[in-house]
Amino acid sequence: MMNIRDYIYINKAKTSNKIRILEILGFEANTFISQTPENIKNINNEVAIDNEYEAVLGDKENDYLVDTLSPTSYEKNNIMQNTSTETFEPIKMTSKIKKIWTDIERRRQWVVPTVLIASTLILISSVTSIYINNRNESIEIDTLYVSLTLESNNLINELPEIINISTDNFYSKYDVSNASANLLNIESTLMEYERNLNNREGFSNDLELSNNLSNIFTLIDNLDDLIAYRILRSEILIYNDLLLINDDLDIDELSNQLSEISAKSKLNYENLPLIEEFENHYLLLEETLSSAEDLQGRLIAALRNNEIDLANSLILAINMNKDIETNNFDKSLMVFKDNKDSLYNNIYKLP
């Protein structure tokens, strides 16, 4: 039996092809198709009914699928009743986050500029503070250099007085000790000045300044050696009133005291610093000690033999032996003074 769709298809085809279509559908070729207006009207009505039927059938199928795949309203109510309210908390949290974000967006117009201004102020204050600190440190360093230079020059000006004290024929233990302390202070200050030259522009490789400092240190070292020389020599062959002969003289006690003087004199002689201007005196002092030891032994023998005249002659020889050494020492002092005055005159003011 031919259905409505086949009929419509055939009806729309050309007349020459209708027979071929019928054969394909399985009808006999001599089948007659009537296309009267009444038949066409009926066919159109059936087509409309068929379309409406398919539409309704489609809606029912969709409803069936929806009902099959989704729970019933009763089940929906049960699910909503059995679901805990905590399930909806993420929605509340989202609302809070949105509210916070909204507040941030509202405040963004003044928060961002405020942060930028604060950051700028902090940066400016930090840079300003660093600049001020560096400038203050530079000023302090410059002030230190100026103060150190001024102090060094003032101390250098004291060197002529120290030369005079060190080369004075009259030995003052107090003056010599003060001169030694002053030399130590001058040397330490100049060493500090020299160390800071590397940090000062234009002075680190100044050959003339280096030579000038070398001359100053040489003068200080020579004066220090001379003071040490004089201190040690001041305790060599010092008899004082020990050689006075009288009736109460104890020969054994005198012998012990002379032996102590000889031993102490030899020890001090061995510790004397070597100074160019005192080379002759150093050699003479060695002979003086040897002669003094011999004369002292002969003096003790003469006293034991009660040879008073011989003893007085020996005492005179002992004193002359010391005087010769003293005269030579004074001459060496003058040579030393002349040389050091000349060296000081070649020293100029520190920059």
**pLDDT tens by residue, 112-137:** 677 777 778 787 877 777 767 666 65
d(CA 26, CA 20): 10
250: in domain:
yes
Structure confidence at residue 96 (pLDDT): 65
Q: Which pLDDT tens digit goes with each residue over 89-101? A: 555 556 666 666 6
Per-residue confidence band for 11, with pLDDT thresholds at 50, 70 and 90: low
- Residue 180 sits in the same domain as residue 271: yes
Are 115 and 174 in the same domain?
no
Alpha carbon distance 25, 237 (integer Å): 161
Indicate whether 147 belongs to any domain: no
- Please answer whether residues 277 and 335 qualify as being in contact, where contact means their C-beta atoms are separated by less than 8 angstroms: yes
**N-terminal to C-terminal alpha carbon distance within the chain:** 133
Shared-domain flag, residues 240 and 334: yes
In a domain, 129, yes or no: yes
What pLDDT shows up at residue 210? Answer: 86
Over 80: is that where the pLDDT of 65 sits? no
Categorize the per-residue pLDDT at 60 as very low, low, confident or very high, splitting at 50, 70 and 90: very low
Question: Which tokens is 180 given?
Answer: 């030694």
Does this model's pTM top 0.85?
A: no
Q: What is the pLDDT of residue 338?
A: 95
Band of residue 241 on the pLDDT scale cut at 50, 70, 90: confident
Report if residue 151 sits inside a domain. Answer: no
For residues 134 and 162, state if they share a domain. no
Residues 197 and 62 in one domain: no
- Could you list the residue range(s) of the whole structural domain that residue 12 is in? 4-80
Provide the pLDDT for residue 188: 92
Measured distance CA(233)–CA(269) in Å, rounded:
7
Tell whether 60 and 127 lie within a shared domain.
no
Query: Percent of the chain having pLDDT more than 70?
Result: 63
In a domain, 152, yes or no: no
Residues 311-321, mean pLDDT to the nearest whole number: 94
Q: What is the pLDDT of residues 151-197, one digit of tens each?
A: 989 999 999 999 999 999 888 888 998 999 999 999 999 998 888 88
In this predicted model, what pLDDT tens digit does every residue of 144-160 receive, in sequence order? 677 888 998 999 999 99
Domain contains 211: yes
The verdict on 126 and 226 lying in the same domain is no
243 and 134 housed in the same domain: no
Using the Cα atoms of residue 239, residue 245, residue 251 and residue 253 in order, give the sign of their dihedral: negative
Q: For 265-280, what is each residue's pLDDT tens digit?
A: 999 999 999 999 999 9
In a domain, residue 116? The reply is yes
What's the pLDDT score for residue 119?
A: 79
Q: Are residues 164 and 200 in the same domain?
A: yes
In this prediction, residues 327-344 reach a mean pLDDT of: 95
- DSSP state letters, 58-85: HHHHHHHHHHHHS--HHHHHHHHHHS-G
Q: Going by C-beta distance under 8 Å and a sequence separation of 6 or more, which residues neighbour residue 94? A: none
The pLDDT, as a whole number, for residue 139 is 62
Q: Is residue 24 part of a domain?
A: yes
Task: Give 82 or 145, the one with higher predicted confidence.
Answer: 145
Residue 196 confidence (pLDDT): 83
**Alpha-carbon gap, residue 322 to 115, rounded angstroms:** 93
Residues 171 and 244 in one domain: yes
Is the same domain home to 120 and 180? no
Are residue 176 and residue 250 in the same domain, yes or no? yes
Q: What domain count does the chain have?
A: 3
- Asked if 325 contacts 272 with a C-beta cutoff of 8 angstroms, the reply is no
